């Protein structure tokens, strides 16, 4: 089954690299991030509902919550900071490759 998740705070290829790498490291092989639309979309193939909860937790940990999630102002600010750090890691890792 294919799941398409709309995520917040994704700005560039650095963000996409981090999301893809982290999800692949967690065992999800078929991952893509669409930067051409707003909100940004993360597509994951062949996952069940239990795995989907794990994916959502990974995205949130990286600072990329689902756009449908309700967040307080403080939580939103914290997630944006996390996403900036995740983005920087994705840009740096891509340059090293």
pLDDT digit string, tens, across residues 43-69: 998 888 889 999 999 999 999 999 998
Domains, the chain: 2-96 (3.30.70.100)
Determine how many CB atoms are found less than 10 A away from the CB of residue 12. Answer: 12
DSSP states of 58-81: HHHHHT--BTTS---HHHHHHHHH
SS3 91: helix
Residue 15 parent element (H or E)? helix 13-25
Tokens, residue 10: 């994704």
Give pLDDT, residue 97: 54
Using N-to-C axis directions, what is the helix angle for 73-96 and 13-25, rounded to 10°? 90
Q: For residue range 11-46, list pLDDT tens digits in order.
A: 999 999 999 999 999 999 899 999 999 999 999 988
């Amino acid at each position: 089954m294919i799941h398409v998740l709309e995520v917040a705070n994704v700005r560039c290829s650095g963000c996409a690299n981090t999301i893809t790498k982290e999800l692949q490291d967690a065992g999800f092989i078929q991952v893509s991030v669409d930067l051409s639309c707003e909100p940004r979309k993360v597509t994951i193939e062949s996952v069940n509902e239990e795995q989907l909860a794990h994916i959502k937790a990974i995205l949130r940990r990286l600072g990329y919550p689902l756009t449908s999630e309700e967040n307080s102002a403080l939580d939103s600010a914290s997630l944006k900071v996390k996403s900036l750090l995740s983005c920087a890691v994705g840009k740096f890792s891509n340059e090293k490759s």
